[in-house]
Chains A and B, each alone.
Chain A
Amino acid sequence: MLSIKNLHAGVEEKEILKGLNLEVKPGEVHAIMGPNGAGKSSLASVLSGRPNYEVTQGSVTLDGKDLLDMSPEDRAREGVFLAFQYPIEIPGVSNINFLKTAMNEIRTYKGLEPLSAKEFLALSRERQKLVEFDAKLVNRSLNEGFSGGEKKRNEIFQLAMLEPKLAILDETDSGLDIDALRIVSRGVNKLRSDKNAFIIITHYQRLLDYIVPDFVHVLSDGKIVKTGDKNLALELEEKGYDWIREEAIH
C-alpha cells in the first residue's frame, strides 16, 4: 500500500530524514518509536504534505500513485490521514460542520454523492459511539478550548468518520488518561481491517499492549535503524535507545 524508498527530506536546508525506507501492506500496523528529534513527526509531515518540508531525494507511493506529487488535500482524499501530535484550534468553525465539509470533499473526489444531512448525522452518531466521543464536543468549535486529551480523542473521532486507507497517529497516546488510552485503542482496533493500515508513532510501549503492532521500527537520526516485532518495544522500554545507536554505528 505505502512504499517509501530512500526518502531524504528537510526544512530550510536542514536535512531531517536521511534515506528512510518503509513498506506498509494492507491490514498491517506499524509502530514507529525513537528518540526526541529523530524525525518521526517530520515523516508524518512529509507524508501528509505539510508546507515547508522539502523532499530532496527518494519516492513515496500509495497504491502505486506518487504521493509526493499531490497536494495535501488530494493525499487526504486518496486516503491518507494524519492524527496530529498537536491538533489545531479553529474558532468559529463547528466540529461537525468541518467534518461534514471534509467528508463531502472526499466523497466528491471519489465521485460519490455527498451524504444527506440525515445520513451524515446517523453516521456521526454511530462513530461517536464507536470511539466513545463526547456528544457535547461534536457541536463545539473545532478543538477550541478542548483539553489536550479531548483534542486527541477528536482526532480519533475524525479518523473513525473519514475511514482512511492509511492512518498515521503521531503520539496520539500522549496526553490521554488511562481510560482514554484504552477507549482510543479499542476504537482503533475496531477500525482495523484487512484493507487499511496504521502507522503509530509513540514513545510508550504501553499503547502497544492495546494496539498490537505487526512491526516495531526504531527511527533515529532520520533513518529506520532497527525493525522487529512487538517484543522490540519491550526491549526498548527496558534498555532505552543507546544500544541501538551503538549498533547502528558499528
Chain B
Amino acid sequence: MENSTDFLEEIAGKEYEHGFVTDIEMDILPPGLNEETIHFISKKKNEPEWLLEWRLKAFRAFQKMELPSWQNFKMPEMDFQAISYYAAPKQKVKYESLDQVDPELLETFKKLGIPLSEQKTLAGVAVDAVFDSVSVATTYKEELKKLGIIFCSFGEAVQEHPELVKKYLGTVVPHSDNVFAALNAAVFSDGSFVYIPPGVRSPMELSTYFRINAANTGQFERTLIIADKDAYVSYLEGCTAPMRDEHQLHAAVVEIVALDNAEVKYSTVQNWYPGDKDGKGGVYNFVTKRGICKGANAHISWTQVETGSAITWKYPSVILQGDNSYGEFYSVAVTKGKQIADTGTKMYHLGANTRSRIISKGISAGNGQNSYRGLVQIGAKAANARNFTQCDSMLIGDRCGAHTFPYIESKNNTATLEHEATTSKIGEDQIFYLNARGIDTEKAVELIVNGFAKEVLNKLPMEFAVEAQKLLAISLEGSVG
C-alpha cells in the first residue's frame, strides 16, 4: 500500500488519449481579426448578404464588450488577434459521399472511436463530424430526409434552407448576448443544423462530433436545433482536441427552439484537451447554450458530462415561455490537475405552470476547482412555477475545491422552489473497504464516482452512458494514490 499521506493526494494526470495531431493539408487563414476576416469567412462560405450583415453587427458589438469578471476564477488573458479564425482541410469541403473524404480524416475519426461509415456507425445514430472549421461528413442523411428531418452542417443549411436559418438564427442567443457569443456570431465557421417537422419523432439519435486539429485556431461552431410542434429529437455532441502547449479557444453557441408539445434532449460529452497537470495548454471552453420552450408543453433537457478543457465556462439555459413547459439540466463536471469549471444553468420561468429541474454533480480532484452557478428566475406571470435544484459535490484529495452559487429571483409568490446541496469526500476508509473486497483503487474510484453521478449518466442515451462512465473513470485515473 502507498504511504497514507499520499493516499488521496497523488495526482498522476493520466495521458490524454485523444491528443494526436492529424497531418493533413489545410487552408488556414493567418491569425488576426478585423472586418476583413469576417468578409473572408462569409465569402468562403458563399453566404447571403443578410448573414454577412448579421456577422458584422455582431463583430461591432463584440468590439465594445469586455470579458466577463463575475465568474469564480481569474479570466486568462486572451489575445483575439493571435487566433486563426478559419482552418479547413484543403480538399474540397463538400462531400457527396464518404468515399470522397480524405482517408487521413476518416482515420482520425476512427481513432477517436467515431465511425463515419454508415454500416459501422452505432446502430441508430446519425453523425455530423466537424473538423476544425468545417463539417466533413454527415451520415444517415437520406434516411432522415424521408421523414422531412433536416440534419446537416450549418453551412449547408445556409445554402439550402436559408429561410429557416434566417427565421431562427440569433432568436435564442442574440448576436450581442455576451462577448463570446458575439465573437461566435461574427466568425462562426460551421456547426450543425437540425429541423424536425411537426409531428415527427426522430427515429435515431442525432450526433455531432467536433475536433480541433490545427494549431492556433479557435473553434467557433454554431448549432441550431428547431423542433416544430409535437416533434421530438435527441441530440448528442462530443468533442476532442490534440495536446498542444498553447491554449485553444472554443467559443460555441447552441440555440434550441421547441414549439408546442415539442421535446428536445441535448446531451454533451465534453472531452476537450484539459492541459497537462501543471496547467500547460488545454482548451478554453467558453460556450453559450440556450433553449427556448416557445410553445405550450414544450420540453428541453440538457445533459452534460464535462471532463475536459482547461477552463469550462458554460450555463446551458432554458427560457420557459410556453405555459406548462419544462426545462431540465443534468450535469457532471470533473476537474482535476489545474482544471477549472464554472458551470451551471439558468431557468427563466415566464409562462404559467412552468417547471424546471436541476441536478448538478461536481467532482474535483488534484487542484481542480469546480463551481456550480445557477439562476432560477420566476417572472410575474409564471403562476405556480416549480423548481427543484440539487447540487452535489465530491472531493478527491485536499487541494481541490467545490463551490456553489445558486441564485433565485422570484417575482411571483405562487412559485415553489426547492434546493438541496451536499458535499462529500471519497474517504480513505471507503477505498480500503473496497480494496479489502478485491477491488483495486482505480476501480474503487470508478465505482464510487459512477455511483455519485448515476442520476445524470442515466439521462444520457444508452449508447453513450457506457462511454461516459468509462470517460469518467479514465479522466480520474491516477487521482487517488
A interface residues with partner B (beta carbon < 8 Å): 48-52, 71-73, 75-77, 81-82, 84, 87-88, 90-94, 97-99, 101-103, 105-106, 109, 141, 158, 162
CB-nearest residue of chain A relative to B453?
A92
CB contacts (< 8 Å) of A93 on chain B: these are 447-448, 450-451
The one of B4, B429, B430, B436 that contacts A82, using a Cβ cutoff of 8 Å: B436
Measured in the bound complex, the distance between the Cα atoms of B445 and A93 in whole Å is: 11
Say yes or no: is B123 at the interface (Cβ < 8 Å to chain A): no
Measured in the bound complex, the distance between the Cα atoms of B430 and A87 in whole Å is: 9
Measured in the bound complex, the distance between the Cα atoms of B436 and A106 in whole Å is: 11
Measured in the bound complex, the distance between the Cα atoms of B447 and A77 in whole Å is: 18
* A51-B1, A90-B451, A105-B443 known; A98 vs B434 contact (CB < 8 Å): yes
List 7 tightest A-B contacts by C-beta distance, closest first.
Answer: A92-B451, A93-B451, A76-B438, A72-B435, A88-B433, A102-B437, A106-B438
Q: Are A92 and B452 in contact (CB under 8 A)?
A: yes
Measured in the bound complex, the distance between the Cα atoms of B450 and A75 in whole Å is: 25
Measured in the bound complex, the distance between the Cα atoms of B439 and A157 in whole Å is: 17
The one of B432, B435, B451 that contacts A91, using a Cβ cutoff of 8 Å: B451
CB contacts (< 8 Å) of B1 on chain A: these are 49-51, 71-72
Measured in the bound complex, the distance between the Cα atoms of B432 and A82 in whole Å is: 11
Measured in the bound complex, the distance between the Cα atoms of B443 and A103 in whole Å is: 13
Measured in the bound complex, the distance between the Cα atoms of B447 and A88 in whole Å is: 14
CB contacts (< 8 Å) of B437 on chain A: these are 76, 81, 98-99, 102, 158, 162
Say yes or no: is B424 at the interface (Cβ < 8 Å to chain A): yes
* A71-B1, A72-B1, A101-B447 known; A90 vs B440 contact (CB < 8 Å): no
CB-nearest residue of chain A relative to B424?
A91
Say yes or no: is B7 at the interface (Cβ < 8 Å to chain A): yes
Cross-chain pairs A/B with CB under 8 angstroms, 10 sampled? A49-B1, A75-B436, A76-B435, A76-B436, A88-B432, A90-B451, A97-B447, A98-B439, A105-B439, A158-B437
CB contacts (< 8 Å) of A162 on chain B: these are 437-438
CB-nearest residue of chain A relative to B441?
A73
Q: Are B447 and A72 in contact (CB under 8 A)?
A: no
Say yes or no: is B96 at the interface (Cβ < 8 Å to chain A): no
CB distance from A185 to the nearest CB of B (A): 22
B interface residues with partner A (beta carbon < 8 Å): 1-2, 4, 7, 424, 427-430, 432-441, 443, 447-448, 450-452, 454
CB contacts (< 8 Å) of A109 on chain B: these are 438
Q: Are A88 and B430 in contact (CB under 8 A)?
A: yes
> Chain B CB within 10 Å — which of A73, A101, A102, A141 has the most?
A73
Measured in the bound complex, the distance between the Cα atoms of B424 and A232 in whole Å is: 46
Given A48-B436, A88-B430, A105-B439, 15 more A-B residue pairs with CB atoms under 8 Å apart are: A49-B1, A49-B436, A72-B1, A72-B432, A73-B438, A76-B435, A81-B437, A88-B432, A91-B452, A92-B450, A93-B447, A98-B439, A101-B443, A105-B440, A141-B451
Measured in the bound complex, the distance between the Cα atoms of B387 and A162 in whole Å is: 45
CB distance from B225 to the nearest CB of A (A): 32
* A51-B7, A92-B454, A94-B451 known; A71 vs B424 contact (CB < 8 Å): no
> Chain A CB within 10 Å — which of B428, B435, B443 has the most?
B435
* A49-B1, A51-B4 known; A73 vs B452 contact (CB < 8 Å): no
The one of A49, A82, A90 that contacts B448, using a Cβ cutoff of 8 Å: A90
CB distance from A98 to the nearest CB of B (A): 7
Measured in the bound complex, the distance between the Cα atoms of B480 and A1 in whole Å is: 33
Q: Is the interface of B mostly helix, strand, loop or mixed?
A: helix
Q: Are A51 and B439 in contact (CB under 8 A)?
A: no
CB-nearest residue of chain B relative to A11?
B4
CB distance from A131 to the nearest CB of B (A): 16
CB-nearest residue of chain B relative to A104?
B438
The one of A49, A87, A94, A106 that contacts B435, using a Cβ cutoff of 8 Å: A49
Q: Are A88 and B443 in contact (CB under 8 A)?
A: no
CB contacts (< 8 Å) of B436 on chain A: these are 48-50, 72-73, 75-76, 81-82, 84
CB-nearest residue of chain B relative to A99?
B437
> Chain B CB within 10 Å — which of A82, A88, A90, A98 has the most?
A90
The one of A71, A84, A97 that contacts B433, using a Cβ cutoff of 8 Å: A84
CB contacts (< 8 Å) of B430 on chain A: these are 88, 90
Q: Are B432 and A51 in contact (CB under 8 A)?
A: yes
CB-nearest residue of chain B relative to A144?
B451
CB-nearest residue of chain A relative to B435?
A72
Measured in the bound complex, the distance between the Cα atoms of B454 and A51 in whole Å is: 29
Q: Are A92 and B438 in contact (CB under 8 A)?
A: no
CB contacts (< 8 Å) of A71 on chain B: these are 1, 435, 440
Q: Are A102 and B439 in contact (CB under 8 A)?
A: yes
CB distance from A178 to the nearest CB of B (A): 28
CB contacts (< 8 Å) of A98 on chain B: these are 434, 437, 439, 447
CB distance from B459 to the nearest CB of A (A): 15
CB distance from A206 to the nearest CB of B (A): 27
> Chain A CB within 10 Å — which of B429, B438, B447 has the most?
B438
CB distance from A114 to the nearest CB of B (A): 13
CB-nearest residue of chain B relative to A92?
B451
Q: Are B438 and A77 in contact (CB under 8 A)?
A: yes
CB distance from A8 to the nearest CB of B (A): 18
Q: Are B435 and A73 in contact (CB under 8 A)?
A: yes
Measured in the bound complex, the distance between the Cα atoms of B256 and A66 in whole Å is: 62
Measured in the bound complex, the distance between the Cα atoms of B432 and A103 in whole Å is: 16
Measured in the bound complex, the distance between the Cα atoms of B437 and A162 in whole Å is: 8
Measured in the bound complex, the distance between the Cα atoms of B444 and A71 in whole Å is: 14
CB contacts (< 8 Å) of B424 on chain A: these are 91
CB-nearest residue of chain A relative to B2?
A51
Measured in the bound complex, the distance between the Cα atoms of B454 and A5 in whole Å is: 46
* A88-B429, A98-B434 known; A73 vs B439 contact (CB < 8 Å): yes
